[in-house]
Amino acid sequence: MSDAIADFYAVIPAGGVGSRLWPLSRAEAPKFLHDLTGSGHSLLRDTWDRLEPLAGHDRIAVVTGRAHRAAVEEQLPGVPDLNVFLESEPRDSTAAIGLAAAVLVRREPDVIIGSFAADHVIRGTRVFEFAVQQAVEVARQGLICTIGIQPTEPAVGFGYIKKGDELVVQGAPEAATVERFVEKPDLDTAKAYFADRSYLWNAGMFISRADVLLAEIQTNAPELHAGLIELAEAWDDRDRRGPAVDRIWPKLQKIAIDYTVAEPAAERGKLAVIPGHFDWDDVGDFASLAKLNSHGRKNELAILGENARVLTDAASGILVSNTDRIVSLIGVQDIVVVDTPDALLVTTSEHAQRVKGVVEALKLTGRGDVL
């Protein structure tokens, strides 16, 4: 695909620390700023590069914290200033995506926005592009459209989308309604979903006309909507933006877009889904990171870190090396070692989910400096 999709504007909410990836991911250097795939680029940059052919260079907005402004601009040199939306503090995904929608619809009434997290990994560019293209065609019809990932295994770490009846939309041969959303299942349920094929992973991708999205927010969170509209009116006036953010943003309801848009729209038959047949991962923990970087080779050690200096003997799992120290791993299987200047983590893939508990313990013991 070489031409951008008409009316399409990509929105990248770049928030979330990723505390299960501590001590790699930090409040000051969250997950999206890291290269987690060995691509040589941060996840944010990879996300941007994936969207540029679909939206065009000047039609990708990033919504992120003020604290990350410099890092984001370093990752995305040449990004137009008016496409960087800075939050004074995190207010969850409805506020982030809703702000972009409210500002963009004022600039361009027919705009169709597609939101894609800054810290997910996708492989299979053409298949991804075809899914987005279909989703935009669905959105043109006034529906809200998500892209649900066709599962490649019975995962228990993701929420699912139950696909319903097929929809007839020109240019979107795979479009279907969303019957319902389901929470992270247990393993038996996940196996049943996997066999069924009509359950897709919820990857949090939403494509919609901006006005349709805002109407949905207005219905389900009217105060939040009013705040976003007020903020958007001031946004493109340089003198008014800062004071408006300071006044309005901190009071906005913190609520995920799943509850203000996706689930209510699904209940009223207004949510469509396009199955995504590409490899996708939200890299939720180090087990996921290890798998992602193993490239299917078991019993090998994946190494992340440009300058990693490693000596291993019978080691498998993943080493993340963010220092210039010599690291030696001997006779450790499925190990997770994360070596950073001020913190070291040693665990295994099996226990990767427990990392979040350490982060919480560090908060409680006043060690926020390493979070």
Binding site for a copy of itself (CB under 8 A): 23, 311, 313-314, 325-332, 335, 337, 339, 341-348, 350-351, 354-355, 357-358, 361-362, 367, 370
Nearest-approach distance from CB 89 to a copy of itself, in angstroms: 26
Nearest-approach distance from CB 121 to a copy of itself, in angstroms: 24
Q: Which is nearer to a copy of itself, 127 or 308 (CB)?
A: 308
Burial 211-237 (b: 16+ CB within 10 A, else e): bbbbbbbbebbeebbebbbebbebbee
Q: Which is nearer to a copy of itself, 100 or 359 (CB)?
A: 359
Nearest-approach distance from CB 292 to a copy of itself, in angstroms: 20
- 61 forms beta bridges with 11
Q: How far apart are CA 20 and CA 35, in angstroms?
A: 16
Q: Report, in angstroms and rounded to the nearest whole number, the Rg of the chain calculated over CA atoms.
A: 21
Q: How far apart are CA 355 and CA 223, in angstroms?
A: 36
Nearest-approach distance from CB 338 to a copy of itself, in angstroms: 9
Write the DSSP assignment of 127-146 as a string of letters.
HHHHHHHHHHHHHHTT-EEE
Nearest-approach distance from CB 56 to a copy of itself, in angstroms: 44
Helices 210-220 and 92-107, interaxial angle, to 10°?
140
Is the Cβ–Cβ distance between 184 and 223 less than 8 Å? no
Nearest-approach distance from CB 290 to a copy of itself, in angstroms: 14
Nearest-approach distance from CB 15 to a copy of itself, in angstroms: 24
Q: Which is nearer to a copy of itself, 152 or 333 (CB)?
A: 333
Element (H, E) at 311: strand 309-313
Nearest-approach distance from CB 352 to a copy of itself, in angstroms: 8
Q: Which is nearer to a copy of itself, 253 or 353 (CB)?
A: 353
Q: Which is nearer to a copy of itself, 294 or 348 (CB)?
A: 348
**Phi and psi at residue 88, to the nearest 5°:** -75, -20
Is the Cβ–Cβ distance between 147 and 278 less than 8 Å? no
Q: Which is nearer to a copy of itself, 13 or 18 (CB)?
A: 18
Is the Cβ–Cβ distance between 231 and 249 less than 8 Å? yes
Residue 233 three-state SS: helix
Q: Which is nearer to a copy of itself, 187 or 344 (CB)?
A: 344
- 221 forms beta bridges with none
Q: How far apart are CA 45 and CA 55, in angstroms?
A: 15
Helices 43-55 and 125-140, interaxial angle, to 10°?
60
Q: Which is nearer to a copy of itself, 29 or 358 (CB)?
A: 358
